[in-house]
Each structure stands twice: as structure tokens, then as C-alpha cells.
Amino acid sequence: MAVTVYGPSYSTATARVIACLEVYGVEYRQVPVDLAAAEHKQQAVLYGNPFGQVPVFEDGDLKLFESRAITRYIAKKHKGNGPDLLREDNLEESTMVNIWMEVEAHQLDKAVQPIIFQLLVVPVLLGGEPDQKIVENSVKNVEKLLDVYEARLSNSKYLAGDFFSLADLNHLPYLYYLITTPYASVITSRPHVKAWWEDLLSRPACQKVTANMKR
Amino acid sequence: MAVTVYGPSYSTATARVIACLEVYGVEYRQVPVDLAAAEHKQQAVLYGNPFGQVPVFEDGDLKLFESRAITRYIAKKHKGNGPDLLREDNLEESTMVNIWMEVEAHQLDKAVQPIIFQLLVVPVLLGGEPDQKIVENSVKNVEKLLDVYEARLSNSKYLAGDFFSLADLNHLPYLYYLITTPYASVITSRPHVKAWWEDLLSRPACQKVTANMKR
């Protein structure tokens, strides 16, 4: 039986889950939820997230929410059919995966989010003018963070070490939107970050997901 | 050889790590870092976090950062000497632990943080007046979240199920500060949340950590 993902393709959290399903070739059904409609919170509750957010993920009787917990579930369940993205059998490697998953969630996404909101959400969905001061401050924050990434990626091919992991994959949605803004150079001007990003984006699963993120 | 924790006892992220060490009775050395001093970011970098935040955790040659990745490391390494806080051997249980760890990190902490900042940091560390409007909006957000917790905890004794897990333990620092504010009733007025909180706080490890959080 196919699993079900409730959430629209342009939602970063939904795209994060779908990218992981695509990596393992898991069959899924997607039910879009219109985030612009006022009822989206009630819909998400109805589908199984008591906090009213997408995505909601359904596998048989199991209803899951929180995108990074869902990608952990998919990677753990399907690791026999694809890459071992969590490295749970190795204490040190799994810890490095966890550290860079936390960095993605608490540092990079937090810094990139206001840029995406101002440049993509405000003009396209809200019909307003971006606040350029917020954008510029956020770009500075992202640059400082990516300096650390550049140093890290000059020592190892991927974030957690010389192996592709969930820490890398979870970065796809926010960085994909960032690269479509006039500030793509924060990525492309840092040679190791650029090479890492191109490696990530070129994967067939990531190509498919980002093609659907374009509205 | 004892492990080392760099960070002050009043820092919520540092307290989160120490609580986990105390649960397993791991011997540790604590090196306080003065967050009020301008050089704290450089110190944290020096101790091993390139992003300049505390805590930094040292176990032999291994230097770790991001408090929730550190607590995962401690729980995984020491589960033979105490509770199995991650349940990695069970796909469904570990997923529930992961979901509620994400809820703690992305929902509850985010909602509680402005209350702590306005009521404890602004007057005590910055010598200013709390912005009561921010406090009241945040309290409303926390109440909505705790309604979901109340429903969850009326179905299972702990957040991830009928077993104590890292999802529960990670909540200690922020909820401890929240309970010291005039808004403690957001916890105590919800019977299942109250019982869960009292169970958490009464544990010897948690008693020790919270005693040291008082300045």
C-alpha cells in the first residue's frame, strides 16, 4: 500500500519529505493542501497533525507529522533499499548526522527563511513589497553561516563526513529557493559549498522534487 | 576520563545536556562560559563550536555541539546504564520520540522563549522593562500548544508513549523557567500536563539540574 503525503509541493517541509521518499523509490500518493486558504490549519488537523501544519504523513494506521521526524522514519524503514542516511549503527557517524541536521533546522533554515518570505512569499502570495532591510540583514547572517559550511566542506565531502546523509538531503528545499533569488552567489561564491550543492541538486530525486516546487 | 561541558548552568541548552548526563550518572566536568561577556562567541568557537554557541561537549577527541544532538549521543552511548531514551530498536517508538523532540524544538521552545526573554533576561540581565504585549501574545501561543499536549498526555503517560524518553527530558529547561514566571498556571491548570511535569521535575537528575539553574 502506498503511503500518503498531505501537503503542497511548494511547501519546504513537504518537499523535504517527498525528497526522502524519492531517494528510496517509495510509492506515494500526494494530497495537496492549499496553504493560502484559511482552512488549511483545520485540514492539517483533520489529516493527523494536532498542531495544524503540513505535511502530514500516513503509512497504514500510522499518522506522522514534523517533516524531520518523517524523513528519519523513511530513512530508517527503507535503508535496506537505498543509502543509509542515518548511520545509526555507528555512534560517531550518526552523531555527526544529528549535529548537522540540527544545524540545518536551527541555524540555516532560520537564517534563510526571512529571505524566502520577503522575496517569494510577500510579492507572490501577499501582493506586497519586500522589506529590503530584513533581506539584507538575513543575507549577512546566511553568509556567516555558509563560511562555517565552507570550512566544514573543505574537510569532508558531505556535512556529516565523507558519506551522503539526511543532514545533506534535509537542506534541499530552503537552499533551492535561496538559489532562485538574486542572492544565489552566497552559495556559488563558496567553492566547496557550491560543489556540495551541485552534487545534492543533481541527484534524480532532488531534480524531481525541485521541478515540482516551481509554481 | 570524564567528559567536559562548556557552558553555564543557567543556559537552557547547557542544562539540557547536563540533565541527560545526570540521568545516566556520567561523570563530567563543567567549564562555565560567561554569556554576558562579549567574548563568549569566540570562547565557544575556541571550545569547538564553529557557530559560537554553548554548550560545547567534549568526550575524548570528540567535540560536539547542538544540545539536542549531544543528548542523543549521551542517550545512545549510555543506554546500557540507564533508561533507553531513544528506543532506536523499535521503528514506531523511536519515531514517536523523534516527533515529540521536534515539537519541543520547533513549537514549544519557540513559543516559550519570548516569555523567558522578556520576564527573566530583559529585567535581570539587561536592566530593562519587559514588553507585556509580547509576553501576553506568547502566553496565548503556549496555551494553544499545551492544549494539544493535554490531549496527548491524556492518552499516554509520556509524550512518545507509555515510556519516559528524550522527548520528555529535553523539555526540562524551558518549562522550568516558565514555571517560575507568573504564568505557571498554563502548566498547572492542565491536569495531565501538570502530572507529567511533576513526574519530570521530581526525578533526581532534574532536581539537581534545576537547582543549579537558579541564579
What pLDDT, in 10s, does the model give residues B162-195?
999 999 999 999 999 999 999 999 999 999 999 9
pLDDT at site B47: 85
pLDDT at site A1: 74
Best CA proximity match to A55, nearest among A40, A46, A44: A44
A22 compared with B40, residue with greater pLDDT: A22
pLDDT at site A106: 95
Quick check: B123 pLDDT over 80? yes
Q: Is some CB atom of chain A closer than 8 A to the CB atom of B42?
A: no
Quick check: A215 pLDDT over 70? no
pLDDT tens by residue, B15-53: 999 999 999 999 999 999 877 776 778 888 888 899 999
What is the C-alpha to C-alpha distance for residues A1 and A7, in angstroms, rounded to an integer?
19
CATH class, range A3-81: alpha beta
Sheet bearing A56-59, strands edge to edge: A28-31, A3-6, A56-59, A62-65
- Residue A106: list chain B partners with CB under 8 A: 66, 105
Quick check: A170 pLDDT over 70? yes
* Residue from B45, B72, B153 to probe the interface with A (highest A Cβ count within 10 Å): B72
Cβ-Cβ contacts under 8 Å between A and B: the total is 72
Buried/exposed A33-52: b ≥16 CB within 10 Å, e otherwise: bebeeeebbebbeebbbbeb
Question: Same CATH fold, B91-207 and B3-81?
Answer: no
Quick check: A138 pLDDT over 70? yes
Can you list the pairs that B59-64 forms with residues at least 24 positions away whose Cβ atoms lie under 8 Å?
B59/B3, B60/B1, B62/A92, B62/A95, B64/A95, B64/A99
Question: Cα A200 to chain center, whole Å?
Answer: 12
Quick check: A195 pLDDT over 90? yes
- Residue B52: list chain A partners with CB under 8 A: none
What are the residue ranges spanned by the domains of chain B? 3-81, 91-207
- Residue B148: list chain A partners with CB under 8 A: 50-51
pLDDT at site A149: 98
Which CATH code, of 3.40.50.300, 3.40.50.2020, 3.30.70.1150, 1.20.1050.10, is assigned to A91-208? 1.20.1050.10
Q: Is some CB atom of chain A closer than 8 A to the CB atom of B69?
A: yes
Hey, what's the cell of B207? 532536581
Task: Read off the amino acid at residue A193.
Answer: V
pLDDT at site A39: 73
Quick check: B215 pLDDT over 70? no
pLDDT at site A79: 96
Question: Are the beta carbons of B145 and A72 separated by less than 8 Å?
Answer: no
* Residue from A61, A85, A102 to probe the interface with B (highest B Cβ count within 10 Å): A102
pLDDT tens by residue, A59-106: 999 999 999 999 999 999 999 999 999 999 999 999 999 999 999 999
Q: What does DSSP say about strands B62-65 and B56-59: parallel, antiparallel, or unpaired?
A: antiparallel
CATH class, range B91-207: mainly alpha
pLDDT tens by residue, B75-105: 999 999 999 999 999 999 999 999 999 999 9
Q: Is B113 exposed, middle or buried (0-12, 13-18, 19+ CB in 10 A)?
A: middle
Residue A124 pLDDT grade (very low, low, confident, very high; cuts 50, 70, 90): confident
Signed CA dihedral, A54, A59, A64, A68: sign only: negative
Question: Are the beta carbons of A106 and B105 separated by less than 8 Å?
Answer: yes
